[in-house]
Amino acid sequence: MTRLVVVGNGMVGARFVEDLLAADRTGRYRVTVLGAEACEPYNRVLLSEVVAGRYGVSTLTLPSPANDRLAVHRGVPVTAIDREDRAVVTADGTRYRYDQLVLATGSSARIPPLAGLAGAPGVLPCGVHPLRTIDDAREIVAATLNARRAVVLGAGVLGLEAASGLTQRGCDVTVVHPARGLMERQLDAGASRVVESAMTGLGIDHRIGVGAEAVLVEDGALRGVRLSDGEVLGAELLVLATGTTPNTSLAAAAGLPTDRGVLVDATLASVGDRRVFAVGDCAQPPEGGTGLVAQGWEQSRRLAATLCGAGPSPAPGQAGGNDVVRLKAHGLDVVTMGVCGSRREDDPAQRTLRLSDPDEGRHVEVVVSGGVLVGATCVGAGQVAADLVAAYTRRSPVPADPAYLLLTALAPSPHTATDPATMADHATVCRCNGVSKGDITASVHDGAASVEDVARATRATTGCGGCADDVCALIRGASTSHQTQPSGENRLTKGKQMIHSTETAAG
Ligand SMILES: Cc1cc2nc3c(=O)[nH]c(=O)nc-3n(C[C@H](O)[C@H](O)[C@H](O)COP(=O)(O)OP(=O)(O)OC[C@H]3O[C@@H](n4cnc5c(N)ncnc54)[C@H](O)[C@@H]3O)c2cc1C
Q: What stretch(es) of the chain map to CATH 3.30.390?
A: 333-405
Residue 236 CA to ligand 1 centre (angstroms): 27
Q: Would the CB of 152 count as within 6 Å of ligand 1?
A: no
Q: Would the CB of 291 count as within 6 Å of ligand 1?
A: yes
Q: What stretch(es) of the chain map to CATH 3.50.50.60?
A: 2-108+245-308, 128-242
Q: How confident is the model at residue 492 (pLDDT cuts 50, 70, 90)?
A: very low
Rounded mean pLDDT, 133-140: 97
* Domain 420-499 fold: Arc Repressor Mutant, subunit A (1.10.10)
Note whether 282 and 246 are within 8 A (CB): yes
Q: What is the pLDDT of residue 444?
A: 92
**Protein residue whose Cα sits closest to atom 38 of ligand 1:** 105
**Protein residue whose Cα sits closest to atom 50 of ligand 1:** 45
- What's at 222, amino acid-wise? L
Q: What stretch(es) of the chain map to CATH 1.10.10.1100?
A: 420-499
For residue 372, give the nearest of 349, 391, 347 by alpha carbon. 391
Q: What is the pLDDT of residue 312?
A: 59
Whether 414 has a pLDDT exceeding 60, the answer reads no
Span 2-108+245-308: which CATH code? Answer: 3.50.50.60
pTM: 0.88
Domain 333-405 of CATH type 3.30.390: yes
d(C-alpha 173, C-alpha 381), whole Å: 25
Q: Residue 364 CB: number of other CB atoms within 10 A?
A: 26
Pocket test for ligand 1, best of 47, 292, 324, 325 (most atoms within 8 A of CB): 292
| CATH superfamily entry for domain 128-242 | FAD/NAD(P)-binding domain (3.50.50.60)
Whether 407 has a pLDDT exceeding 80, the answer reads no
Strands 100-103 and 95-97: unpaired
Whether 177 has a pLDDT exceeding 50, the answer reads yes
Q: Would the CB of 106 count as within 6 Å of ligand 1?
A: yes
Q: How confident is the model at residue 406 (pLDDT cuts 50, 70, 90)?
A: confident
Q: How confident is the model at residue 402 (pLDDT cuts 50, 70, 90)?
A: confident
Residue 446 CA to ligand 1 centre (angstroms): 33
Per-residue model confidence as pLDDT tens digits over 14-57: 999 999 999 999 999 999 999 999 999 999 999 999 999 999 99
Q: How confident is the model at residue 314 (pLDDT cuts 50, 70, 90)?
A: low
**Protein residue whose Cα sits closest to atom 11 of ligand 1:** 292
Angstrom distances, CA of residue 75 to CA of 50, 89, 325: 23, 14, 31
359, burial (CB in 10 Å: exposed 0-12, middle 13-18, buried 19+): exposed
Residue 136 CA to ligand 1 centre (angstroms): 13
Q: Which residues contact 243 (CB under 8 A, 6 or more apart)?
A: 109, 110, 154, 156
Q: Would the CB of 334 count as within 6 Å of ligand 1?
A: no
Within 132-220, strands assigned E span 149-153, 172-177, 205-208, 212-218
Q: Which residues contact 501 (CB under 8 A, 6 or more apart)?
A: none
Q: What is the pLDDT of residue 500?
A: 31
**23-27, 120-124, 275-279: the lowest-pLDDT one:** 120-124
Per-residue model confidence as pLDDT tens digits over 343-392: 777 788 899 999 998 888 999 999 999 999 999 999 998 878 888 988 89
Whether 315 has a pLDDT exceeding 80, the answer reads no
Per-residue model confidence as pLDDT tens digits over 80-118: 999 999 999 999 999 999 999 999 999 999 999 999 997
Q: Which residues contact 401 (CB under 8 A, 6 or more apart)?
A: none
DSSP 353-395: EEEEEGGGTEEEEEEEETTEEEEEEEES-HHHHHHHHHHHHHT
Per-residue model confidence as pLDDT tens digits over 416-460: 456 777 778 888 888 788 888 999 999 999 999 888 888 889 988
* β-bridge mates for residue 234, sequence order: 224
Residue 133 CA to ligand 1 centre (angstroms): 8
